[in-house]
Amino acid sequence: VAAVAGALVKGALGFNGQRCTAEKIIFAPKAIAAEVAKALADRVAGLKLGMPWEEGVGIVPLPEADKLAAMGAYVDDGLAKGAKVVNPKGGQGCFSLMHPAVLFPVDARMRIFHEEQFGPVVPVAPYDSVDEVVAWQRASPFGQQAGVWGPPDRVRPVAEALARFVARVNLNDVCQRGPDSFGFTATDKSGFGTLSLREALLTFSRPVLIQSRDPAQLSPFAAS
């Protein structure tokens, strides 16, 4: 649990969680959900807040003027409906700098269960059956990536089920942009298609024809 929590904190809170590939919600088996939430809280408590140019900083100011209030609204909604902030100072902030909040237990009554926060709030939702997680993904409008953690025999059926609804499934790994050789894929309202570095360059490029009857005139271009 500790090892997985370390990876998930990095995945969920890299760039303050303002990555399209950041883990937006974490589902944990009910029997160990509290342990997972505690491990996440311990990792988050060790993150240093500050400015991007300071050494060792893990959380930096949010780039939107109303972002702190928006994140606070998610936290307040969760607290009002039975969740708790399980890490010290979680949700506290000033101006545009905020301590990440690990919310637990999160359920379907809460906004954060359905909406993409795109910021430093980490919701942890306990489940009894993996079918509940698959049902959540089926109903969700977001279809970019999912991460599945566990031994191979347990991971495979879950990955196969989620593959019907997302464009990439990460096995015992966080959701992420690279490597570029995989391309950048999405489905549902996250967008359709694949984008890689090569395709991006082609998208923003146009072919140009340079011709001459004299091959000597073309040799400098061929060399470049």
- Single out the residue of 185, 189, 187 nearest to residue 175, CA to CA: 185
Q: Is 30 left (phi over 0), alpha (psi -120 to 50) or beta?
A: alpha
DSSP state of 107: -
Pairing state between β 101-104 and 121-127: parallel
What per-residue confidence (pLDDT) applies to 75? Answer: 98
Q: How far apart are CA 18 and CA 69, in angstroms?
A: 15
What per-residue confidence (pLDDT) applies to 224? Answer: 57
What per-residue confidence (pLDDT) applies to 211? Answer: 84
The pLDDT-based confidence of 6 (bands split at 50, 70, 90) is very high
pTM of the predicted model, to two decimals?
Answer: 0.84
Two structure tokens written together for 151: 């031994």
Question: In this predicted model, what pLDDT tens digit does every residue of 124-166 receive, in sequence order?
Answer: 999 999 999 999 999 999 888 999 999 999 999 999 999 999 9
What are the backbone dihedrals phi and psi of residue 127, each rounded to the nearest 5 degrees, phi first?
-140, 155
Is 74's pLDDT higher than 80? Answer: yes
183 burial level (CB within 10 Å; 0-12, 13-18, 19+): middle
Strand pairing partners for 26? Answer: 124
Long-range contacts of 174-182 (CB under 8 A, 24+ apart): 174/7, 174/8, 174/10, 174/11, 174/23, 174/147, 175/11, 175/21, 175/22, 175/23, 175/144, 175/145, 175/146, 175/147, 176/11, 176/21, 176/145, 177/19, 177/21
Least confident of 2-16, 53-67, 109-123, 167-181: 167-181
Is 62's pLDDT higher than 80? Answer: yes
Question: In this predicted model, what pLDDT tens digit does every residue of 168-200 receive, in sequence order?
Answer: 999 999 998 877 667 677 777 676 665 666 777
The pLDDT-based confidence of 209 (bands split at 50, 70, 90) is confident
DSSP state of 74: H
- Convert 95-112 to b/e letters by CB count within 10 Å (16 or more is b): eebbbbbbbbbbeeebeb
The pLDDT-based confidence of 111 (bands split at 50, 70, 90) is very high
Residue 33: enclosing H or E segment and its boundaries? helix 33-45
